[in-house]
Structure formats: structure tokens, C-alpha cells
Amino acid sequence: VSSAGVAVLNDCGPGPRLARARLTVRSPRAAVELLLVQHADALPPLGLVAPERASGAASRADGSAESLRPEPFAARLAHAEQAARLDGATATTRVQTVASSRGEGTILLELPAGCHRLGVLGQEPSEPAAPFDVDAEARSSDGAELLARDRSTAPDALLELCVAQAQKVSLRFGGAASHGAVTVLDALWPLPAGLDPLWSPEVRAGLARAIVRRGAPGPRTMPVLQVLGGQGSTLVPASVEPGACYLAALALRRGQASAARLSASLPDRAVVDQATAWPYAAAVTFCAGESERVALTVEVRSTLAWWQLVLWRVGGGSP
């Protein structure tokens, strides 16, 4: 059954077993794209590959959803650590704490530069029928800036954020078992290589987050175009090399926004990414095909915000 418009059918094993599949479309009309992937490692979650389709957890329509029955604490922790390693994390760190009697807690983390996936895993409650849904949020150490939040309905909370320099982060959680053990698993990925160290930490962190969230290849070279701008809609025409592929990423430099959107329009297609949560960073990838120009459009909804758009060439075309 599809979720957010995507249905996934997996078959693993030494030989071909899945010979034939039947697709039933329940919508009155639909355009369907089939994607066949042969892979050795686990595929990343849909929310990372196509975040615009990630609609979050959905409860049962009749409102009588049963409590989730998670795996044992140790098994979930091991699986989370293994998944991070499979996704390319270069280091994982466990931080342990104990929830309050109300299942809440706050810990201060000192995160090194890089992109972090913070899994907040709690010991399951002793009462099997008790609700078990850990939520968490990460804020700057002074509490002023919300860096990431997970309020989905799931036993464990997952926060993803990037920091361009070592930063103290306050992590608050709730929904854990009363006085239960809670482990924060910090999986670390290095920042993409193509981020100019002259850019501000906020811009580098935002660009890195956009690239990682989009699942885009990290740039390894210096950008071919850098653009600054303000709130509203801004059209940025850019020259591209036919046959080459590009990564465009957008991050806020200053101010607050309520939404940010980045699109790249070529004569025969357009790609879009939008961000409705901090750090309001977005990224798109495209190949120029036969075109020599691309129209990049940045839309930032805000009363006062400055943004930075960076365009990298990431492959294809003549060297």
C-alpha cells in the first residue's frame, strides 16, 4: 500500500523471486513512474530521498490506533547504530540519561562540526499497553533558536541537523517511560567538501543540511555561482554547460522565514525543493541537457531575511 504516493516492494535474496508485480491505482487518474533499484546496502528512508513526499506518520482513520509495540531498547539502539553506519556515518556516539518521573528530560550536547542524526531512544515502559512515543527538540544552548524537532508518532525521536562549527545544543525530550533509561545516539557525517570556509557558519550549516536532506551528492569543487538576496521572489538566470549536472542549494544568512522554496527551470522540466522548518534551506539537482541557461527562482517568505544561493557543478559534460 502506498504512502504519500509512493509504494515500495522489496525482495532480497540470492536469486530472482519477484518475477511479476501488479499495480492497482485507486485514484481516478494518476501518472506512475516505476523505479527499479538493485542495492547491497539498506536504502535510506523515503523522507530523506524525497522529503517533499514525507507526510509524517498517519493515525488510523477510525481513531482507535493501538499503542506501538517497539522492539526492545537494546535492539532498537543497535539497529539505529547499524543504519547510521550503513548510511555512511563516520562516527556514532551514545549519550545516556534517565527520564524524569514524567518521562521528560533535557541534556546539553556539544556537537562537533558536521551533520548529525540524533536518535532519542527510550527504554520501553514496563506496562506493555502504556503509550510510548518519544518526542524531542534541539535548540541552541541559550534556547533561543529551534534547530530541529520531531513530534511524529513513533517510539523513538529522530532529529537531523548540521552545524558548521562545534556547537552546544540543548536537547529536550518527552514521552519516555517514567524514570526510564534514554540514550541519545549521535551519528555524524562530515560537512560537504565544497562549502567555502569564508561563508558564515549559519550559511554552511544550512547548505549542508539542504544537501543532506535532499540526498544530493556533496559538492567537491568551488561553486560556479554565488548569489545573495532578500525576502520575496527572486529570479536568478544562470549560464550552464550543456551536458553538465549541477547542484543548487539555498540557505538563510540572516533573519527568520516562514518558508523557503528553490526551483530550477529548464526548457523541458523543472525541479523544486521547499523547506517549511528551520533552517529553511533547500537544494535541487539538475542536468542541463542541451540547455545553456537555467532559471533559478528563490522564494523566501519573511518580513526580513537574507539568503545565499550557491550553484555547483557536480558532474557530467566535458571536463
Partner 1 sequence: MSARWSLVAALGWLVTAGCGAVEPARNPTGAPSARELRVLDATLDASRWLDASARVAAAAGAGALQPLSAAMAAEGDRIGGFVELGAEACLLGIARPGPSVADVDLFVFSDGGDLLAADESPAPEASVLVCPPHPERMYVVARVVAGTGIVAVGAMPVSPSAVAAVARAIEVRGQPGQDTGKLEGWPGLEAKIRDRRRALGSSWEDVRRTLLPVEPRTVTAFSLGVGAERCIDVLVAPGEAVHGIELAVTDAKGRVVARADAPGRDRALVLCAHAQQSLTLQIRPLASAGVVAVVVGQAPVGAAGELRDARFVDPVAPTATLGEATARLHERTRGLRFGAGRLIGSANHHVDARTARAELWSEQGEQLAWAQGSESATLFRCGPAGVAQAEVLAEQLPGPFTIELREDPKPPPLLLLQPLAAARLLARLEVSHGPVDADRLGSAVAVALGTATRTIVPIAVPADLCVEVFAALDGAARGLELRLADESNGKVEVSLGDTVASTRLCASAEPKRARVELRSTRAEARGLLLQQSTQADARRALPR
Residues forming the site for partner 1 (CB under 8 A): 225-239, 253-254, 293, 295, 298, 303-304, 306, 308
With b for 16 or more beta-carbon neighbours within 10 A and e for fewer, the 20-55 pattern comes to eeeeeeeeeeeeeeeeeeeeeeeeeebbbeebeebe
Least separation in angstroms between residue 133's CB and partner 1 is 21
Half-sphere exposure of 172 (CA within 13 A, CB side): 12
Q: Which residue(s) pair with 306 in the sheet?
A: 230, 254
Order of strands across the sheet with 269-275? 232-239, 293-301, 259-266, 269-275
3-state DSSP assignment of residue 297:
strand
Which of 155/223 has CB closer to partner 1?
Answer: 223
Which of 285/291 has CB closer to partner 1?
Answer: 291
Which of 230/316 has CB closer to partner 1?
Answer: 230
DSSP string, 265-276: EETTEEEEEEE-
User: Which residue has cell 485507486?
Assistant: 26
Least separation in angstroms between residue 296's CB and partner 1 is 9
Spell out the residues 6+ positions from residue 101 whose beta carbon is closer than 8 angstroms to its own: 178, 179
Least separation in angstroms between residue 117's CB and partner 1 is 31
Which of 271/295 has CB closer to partner 1?
Answer: 295
Sequence-ordered strand ranges (E) for the chain: 91-98, 105-111, 114-122, 135-140, 146-150, 157-163, 167-174, 181-189, 225-230, 232-239, 244-255, 259-266, 269-275, 282-287, 293-301, 305-316
Least separation in angstroms between residue 226's CB and partner 1 is 4
Q: Are 140 and 170 in contact (CB under 8 A)?
A: yes
Which of 213/261 has CB closer to partner 1?
Answer: 261
Which of 114/229 has CB closer to partner 1?
Answer: 229
Least separation in angstroms between residue 203's CB and partner 1 is 11
Least separation in angstroms between residue 202's CB and partner 1 is 13
Q: Are 253 and 302 in contact (CB under 8 A)?
A: no
Which of 82/239 has CB closer to partner 1?
Answer: 239
Least separation in angstroms between residue 36's CB and partner 1 is 38
